[in-house]
């Protein structure tokens, strides 16, 4: 099934973060889908933590929010199933994590970061890995609309979605 744009997120993490304010986020998200429709884009929202959503795409739902392998595997299944022109990640890394890649230039005397958090693996067909050499040929258009990490006020995210 071909979809123009898929929005992937973790709805449980969003609900936990925003609590009683979650309806504002949901309205803004549905408003984005409606605006896309007016532009001629067929947009589908997929919650990686929803068994219904991910199993419909032939994958397994994410059961541990920050399990990078589970999330990458779920996103890959969604991408294979819907073949979107665009993949939008909704939420900061506390909602849908970056993929930690080994830093190829790690040097305790210089660059002492052992890992580099990245969305590049989501843009590649290669399966989960921490090896950055596996993700040198992106074939997917991926962008992230982040909210503010650790901030329970949805105003910023609602603004971005609008």
With 0-12 / 13-18 / 19 or more C-beta atoms within 10 angstroms meaning exposed / middle / buried, residue 42 is middle
- DSSP bridge pairs for 130: none
Three-class SS state of 19: helix
pLDDT confidence of residue 106: 66
Residue of 76, 55, 70 whose CA lies nearest to 121: 76
Contacts with 162 (C-beta within 8 Å, 6 or more apart), sequence order:
28, 31, 32
Q: What is the mean pLDDT of the chain?
A: 95
pTM: 0.93
pLDDT, one tens digit per residue, over 17-33 is 999 999 999 999 999 99
Q: What percent of the chain has pLDDT over 70?
A: 98
Per the CB < 8 A criterion, the answer to whether 81 and 74 are in contact is no
Q: What phi and psi values does residue 145 have, to the nearest 5 degrees? A: -105, 100
pLDDT-based confidence at residue 2 (cuts at 50, 70, 90):
confident
pLDDT confidence of residue 20: 97
pLDDT, one tens digit per residue, over 64-82 is 999 999 999 999 999 999 9
Residue of 146, 149, 144, 160 whose CA lies nearest to 24: 160
- DSSP bridge pairs for 115: 102
């Amino acid at each position: 099934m071909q979809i123009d744009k898929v929005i992937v997120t973790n709805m449980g993490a969003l609900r936990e973060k925003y609590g009683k304010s979650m309806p504002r986020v949901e309205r803004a998200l549905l408003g984005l889908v409606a605006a896309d429709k007016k532009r001629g884009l067929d947009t589908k929202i997929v919650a990686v933590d929803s068994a219904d959503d991910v199993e419909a795409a032939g994958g397994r739902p994410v059961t541990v929010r920050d399990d990078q392998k589970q999330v990458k595997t779920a996103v890959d299944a969604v991408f294979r199933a819907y073949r979107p022109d665009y993949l939008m990640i909704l939420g900061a890394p506390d909602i849908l994590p970056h993929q930690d890649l080994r830093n190829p230039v790690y040097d305790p005397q210089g660059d002492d970061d052992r890992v580099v958090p990245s969305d590049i693996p989501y843009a590649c067909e290669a399966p989960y890995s921490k090896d950055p050499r596996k993700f040198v040929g992106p074939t997917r258009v991926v962008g992230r609309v982040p909210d503010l990490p650790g901030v329970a006020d949805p105003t910023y995210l609602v603004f971005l979605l609008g």
